[in-house]
Structure 1
Amino acid sequence: MRTQSRRRPRVTLAMAAAGTLLAPLLSGCWVGAGGSGSGGDSINVLMVNNPQMTELQKLTAANFTKETGIRVNFTVLPENDVRDKISQDFANQAGQYDVATLSNYEIPIYARNGWLHEMDTYVAKDPAYDEQDVLKPMRESLTGDDGKLYGQPFYGESSFLMYRKDVFAQKGLTMPEHPTWTQVADLAAQVDGAEPGMKGICLRGLPGWGELMAPLTTVVNTFGGTWFDKDWTAHLDSPEFVKATKFYVDLVREHGESGAAQSGFAECLNNMTQGKVAMWYDATSAAGLLEADKSPVKGKLGYAPAPVEKTESAGWLYTWAWGIQHASRNAEKAWQFVSWASGKGYEQLVGDTIGWSNVPSGKRASTYTNPAYRAEAAAFQDMTKEAIENARPGDPGVQPRPAPGIQFVGIPEFTDLGTKVSQEISAAIAGRQSVDSALKKSQQLAEKIAKEYEGR
Structure 2
Amino acid sequence: MMKQLGITLGALVVALSTGPAMAETKLTIATVNNNDMIVMQKLSKTFEAAHPDIKLNWVTLEENVLRQRLTTDIATHGGQYDVMTIGLFEAPLWGKQDWLVPFTNVPADYKLDDVLQSVRDGLSVNGKLYALPFYAESQMTFYRKDLFEKAGLTMPDQPTWAQIGDFAKAINDPTHGVYGVCLRGKPGWGENMGQISPVVNSYGGRWFDMDWKAQLDKPAWKDALTTYVTLLKDYGPPGAAANGYNETLALFASGKCGMWVDATVSAGFLTNPKESKVADKVGYAHPPVGKFDKGNHYLWAWALAVPTSSKAPEAAKSFVYWATSPEYIALVAKENGWASVPPGTRKSTYDNKAYLDAAPFAPLTLATIETANMHDSTQEKVPYTGISFVGIPEFQNIGTAVGQTFSAVIAGQKTIDQGLAEAQATTERAIRQAGYPKP
Q: Give TM-score scaled by structure 1 length.
A: 0.83
2:402 aligns with 421
- 2:281 and 2:58 mapped to 1: Cα distance? 39
Counterpart check, 1:137 vs 2:118: yes
Aligned residues: 412
The correspondence for 1:71, drawn from 37, 40, 54, is: 54
- 1:105 and 1:199 mapped to 2: Cα distance? 33
Q: How far is 1:184 from its partner? A: 1.8
1:400 aligns with 381
2:77 aligns with 93
Residues 219 and 83 (structure 1), Cα distance of their counterparts in 2 relative to 1, 3 Å cut: closer
2:87 aligns with 103
Deviating more after overlay: 246-255 vs 43-52: 43-52
Residues 135 and 199 (structure 1), Cα distance of their counterparts in 2 relative to 1, 3 Å cut: same
Q: Is the 8 A contact 1:94 1:327 kept in 2?
A: yes
Report the AA paired with residue 101 of structure 1.
Answer: T
Q: How far is 1:330 from its partner? A: 4.3
1:17 aligns with none
1:447 aligns with 428
- 2:262 and 2:166 mapped to 1: Cα distance? 18
2:124 aligns to what SS in structure 1? coil
Q: Deviations over 1:2-53 (max 9, x none)?
A: xxxxxxxxxxxxxxxxxxxxxxxxxxxxxxxxxxxxx977362422153433
The correspondence for 2:238, drawn from 255, 258, 266, is: 258
Counterpart check, 1:297 vs 2:278: yes
2:18 aligns with none
The correspondence for 2:180, drawn from 195, 200, 205, is: 200
Counterpart check, 1:387 vs 2:371: no
- 1:333 and 1:274 mapped to 2: Cα distance? 40
Q: How far is 1:194 from its partner? A: 9.5
Q: How far is 1:130 from its partner? A: 1.8
- 1:212 and 1:49 mapped to 2: Cα distance? 17
- How many percent of aligned residue pairs carry the same amino acid? 41
Q: How does 1:293-372 map to 2 (within 5 A)?
A: 293-294=273-274, 295-308=276-289, 309-312=291-294, 314-328=296-310, 330-372=312-354
Report the AA paired with residue 186 of structure 1.
Answer: D
Report the AA paired with residue 165 of structure 1.
Answer: K
Report the AA paired with residue 419 of structure 2.
Answer: A
Report the AA paired with residue 349 of structure 1.
Answer: L
Q: Deviations over 1:115-170 (max 9, x none)?
A: 01222x223xx2222222212221121112x2321110011221111111122122
Higher Rg of the two aligned structures:
2
Q: Is the 8 A contact 1:167 1:194 kept in 2?
A: no
Deviating more after overlay: 107-116 vs 39-48: 39-48
- 1:211 and 1:83 mapped to 2: Cα distance? 12
1:375 aligns with 357
- 1:423 and 1:95 mapped to 2: Cα distance? 30
1:76 aligns to what SS in structure 2? strand
Q: How far is 1:94 from its partner? A: 4.7
Q: Is the 8 A contact 2:216 2:420 kept in 1?
A: yes
Residues 297 and 435 (structure 1), Cα distance of their counterparts in 2 relative to 1, 3 Å cut: same
Deviating more after overlay: 362-371 vs 441-450: 362-371
The alignment's C-alpha RMSD in Å is 2.5
Q: How does 1:180-199 map to 2 (within 5 A)?
A: 180-193=160-173, 196-199=176-179
1:219 aligns to what SS in structure 2? helix
Q: How far is 1:290 from its partner? A: 1.7
- 1:233 and 1:327 mapped to 2: Cα distance? 36
Report the AA paired with residue 138 of structure 1.
Answer: V
Q: How far is 1:216 from its partner? A: 0.9
Q: Give TM-score scaled by structure 2 length.
A: 0.86
1:10 aligns with none
Report the AA paired with residue 372 of structure 1.
Answer: A
Report the AA paired with residue 191 of structure 1.
Answer: I
2:392 aligns to what SS in structure 1? coil
- 1:127 and 1:334 mapped to 2: Cα distance? 18
2:164 aligns to what SS in structure 1? helix
Residues 165 and 118 (structure 1), Cα distance of their counterparts in 2 relative to 1, 3 Å cut: same
Residues 237 and 55 (structure 1), Cα distance of their counterparts in 2 relative to 1, 3 Å cut: same
Q: How far is 1:84 from its partner? A: 4.1
Structure 2 unaligned blocks of 5 or more: 1-21
Q: Is the 8 A contact 1:70 1:333 kept in 2?
A: no
- 1:432 and 1:55 mapped to 2: Cα distance? 38
